[in-house]
Amino acid sequence: MHKFIGDICDGIGPRESGTEQDILAGNKIEDELKRFCDETWQEEYTSSPTAFLGFIRYGVLLVIFSVIFYWLSLIVELQWLIIDSSFILYFLIIAFILLLISVIYFILEVMKYHEIFDFLFKKKQSKNVVGTLNPTDEVKNTVIFSGHHDSAYEFNLFYYLKTVGVALIFVGYVGILVIFLMTSLKLIFYFLSINFFFFFYMFGIIFLFFLPITIAFLFFHSYNPVPGAFDNLSAVSIVLGIGKLLDENKSKNDFYPKHTKILLISFAGEEAGLRNEQAQTQAPSGNADIGVV
């Protein structure tokens, strides 16, 4: 198991999802699975692996511009800029729309893994690798053991700032939500003709203090993938180890499942935002159980 991790790290190297290295690692895993599985196959799929994290910088830019437009609205209200007062509303609406796009991205794409902004990014081919061990008797249950062979990018924020970087993620999320809520509230109050200027002015100043943190998020990750020995070859090697052990047990008449089919899976796009991990896992021969992972 340990040698397998070393062989992939040294022989293939870092494995960004959808790259040749990702495919090569998948082929090597299938070769290993073939030694003890009843059946193995690869599931090819198309995704945009860079969308999940790649949009962070654009999402952050939208927040920065929204703060600028929020302030433009305040400046017109303060009459530091003498233009038509309807611009108070126009600037506020622009800030609201920019924030809405950003909040949709951070909640639905980053937190919930929906592929909303993926159409903006390049499509690539990847392959999940699956192996099965059939039970000795009739199949009544299926158990899936899985890991992933794609590797993550270097996360600059965690690399340089350590635990402070982790805390900044929380601060960043709360900050964007507060800016979004305050901008929405200011818009609602505008239509209700409620004047709470000083309150929104104070929040405008708080937003300015928050901007450096927002700017740090522009550099959240690099595009250098890491070797990924720990995340997640360590799990793939355990998945292989389980298969090997059960196969040895079978030949020694030791513990081996009677009614439980074992699926051993290595995914190719976990770091890309769990791409194609909800797919139905169907053997080419058509006799496998459906595993929804």
- The contact set with Zn ion (CB under 5 A) reads 231-232
Q: Which tokens in the block code for residue 142?
A: 């299926």
CA 168 – CA 160 distance, rounded (Å): 12
- Comparing every residue's Cβ against Zn ion, the nearest one is 231
CA-to-CA separations, 271 to 263, 274, 276, in angstroms, rounded: 21, 6, 11
Q: Which tokens in the block code for residue 157?
A: 């924020």
The set of residues, in sequence order, having a beta carbon less than 8 Å from that of 138 and lying 6+ positions away, is 259
Residue 7 vs 231, nearer CB to Zn ion:
231
Min CB(248)–Zn ion separation in Å: 28
CA 180 – CA 288 distance, rounded (Å): 47
Residue 146 vs 232, nearer CB to Zn ion:
232
Residue 231 vs 247, nearer CB to Zn ion:
231
Min CB(270)–Zn ion separation in Å: 5
Min CB(157)–Zn ion separation in Å: 17
CA 30 – CA 93 distance, rounded (Å): 53
What are the residues facing 125 on neighbouring strands?
Answer: 46
State the amino acid at position 121 in one-letter form. Answer: F
Min CB(228)–Zn ion separation in Å: 8
Question: What's the distance, Cα to Cα, between the start and end of the chain in Å?
Answer: 24
Min CB(148)–Zn ion separation in Å: 6
Residue 30 vs 277, nearer CB to Zn ion:
277
Residue 12 C-alpha from the chain's centroid: 23
Min CB(147)–Zn ion separation in Å: 8
Residue 77 vs 277, nearer CB to Zn ion:
277
Residue 77 vs 271, nearer CB to Zn ion:
271
Give me the sheet containing 39-47, strands edge to edge.
39-47, 124-133, 260-267, 141-148
CA 77 – CA 200 distance, rounded (Å): 11
